[in-house]
Amino acid sequence: MLGAMDYKGALEYILSFTDFERAPGTVYSAANFDLRRMEELLGRLGNPHLGARSIQVAGTKGKGSTAAMIASALGAAAYKTGFYTSPHLHTFRERISINGEAIGAQEMADMVERLRPEVEAVNRRGAYGELTTFEILTAIAFTYFKDKAVDFQVLEVGLGGRLDATNVVEPVVAVITSISFDHAEVLGSSLAQIAGEKAGIIKQGVAVVISPQRREAERVIEKACGEEGARLITVGRDITWEKLSADIRGQWLRVKGKAGSYELFIPLLGDHQLENAATAIAALEALHIPAESIAQGLARVNWPGRLEVLRDEPIFLVDAAHNADSARRLREAIKQYFDFGQLILIVGASGDKDIAGMARELAPISSLAIVTRSRHPRALEPSLLVEEFRGHGIRAEVAESVAEAASCALALAEPRDLICATGSLFVAAEAREYIKGIPPEIYP
């Protein structure tokens, strides 16, 4: 009988399986990421992934923001819209939402209880290996969206594309945002290899929207579109944008699309978000969403933890920058939007990231780095980051937790200073918890 399992029990069950998000050194192969076991599970559940029109979003940078904009605009157009994203800031429930409302705790528990017999049947048969945490979560999302009869489901790819658990759908639009060297040790050592994995979401006859790409990556995507007879829409050529103005509340821009011209506001900072907005509009135009709904949806998009101001005097900023490219964008945005005395960094990273590149990009604008680690099991030992910042002549100290680092930074800062917590989404999340008093969701 449904209702016997509670949310805590559901999380314990989901996390009892292999979780590649929390386990470093994963080999990205068809053995570890075998879509046939996902298809077997979904088949036993009545193929819920086929219950709605799907928009699939892959890429290295900007895929979450772009997917959130698309989902928000579809909601503004009065479509019941499911949104599946990862990772989360504060609770697993954020990963599965409908029109901005996360799945309820008991709903999540009931879903796990309902899927459990099918999960165990697939694993007992073991024809294609054992289901993973991410695959089970993805199946929960599809089942929940089908139960709620959503019109659209916007799916952010977890890793890569070709072998990702979301890649069981036949999307009406496939989106590939900016591709750069993140997860290179898993997806490949060249942009062409990484682009090949992302291009795995391109299916026969689908509309494909791509953000501006380096030519090496773009060639791979063009070839995949040609092979699949897919219609390619290139942001930067087919869709262009122009920044109009900005302040710390957000940005105004003009986008010239294939269907018309739009003047818009987005409550997100950073020039990269203008590119993401243009990419979202290209996808929405392919779905024939009215211009008014696009403008309304983008104006109310909610995507916390990315260049988000949590308080003033001193300004406390959080950003999920986790590689050299995103750290560079963060540095540029800080210089563009904020007038401050000194910058105090709170920084922690995952063990598989380019910490040398992140330190190189952030050191020129900071006077002090308080180095810490999140609760995440992949968090890097702080002493390694300390060495990187000290190598750039930056004073660096260690705090045992993000909360301790935030408390220390606030004690040291003058009213005109800027504190920025960054290096991973997990650091940004724990800083938000401290500043906003959000109870943490602790995992085994």
pLDDT for 159 equals 87
pLDDT for 444 equals 76
Arithmetic mean of pLDDT, 270-284: 96
pLDDT for 26 equals 57
- Give the ranges where 169-322 is alpha helix by DSSP (H): 184-187, 191-198, 215-228, 271-286, 291-299
pLDDT band of residue 371 (cuts 50, 70, 90) is: very high
Report whether 257 contacts 285 (CB < 8 A). yes
**pLDDT, tens digit (0-9, with 9 covering 90-100), for 111-160:** 999 999 999 999 999 999 999 999 999 999 999 999 999 999 999 999 88
CA distance 54 to 169: 7
Arithmetic mean of pLDDT, 208-223: 97
pLDDT band of residue 354 (cuts 50, 70, 90) is: confident
What lies within 8 Å, CB to CB, of 227 at 6+ separation is: none
Arithmetic mean of pLDDT, 52-68: 96
Peptide bond into 117 cis (omega under 30): no
Residue 61 backbone dihedrals phi, psi, to 5 degrees: -120, 140
Among the listed ranges 9-13, 29-33, 258-262, 410-414, which one has the minimum average pLDDT value? 29-33
**pLDDT, tens digit (0-9, with 9 covering 90-100), for 404-421:** 999 999 999 999 999 999
Q: Which residue has the tokens 């759908």?
A: 169
CA distance 435 to 444: 24
243 has which bridge partners? 253
Domains present along the chain, CATH in parentheses? 7-299 (3.40.1190.10), 308-436 (3.90.190.20)
Arithmetic mean of pLDDT, 22-47: 82
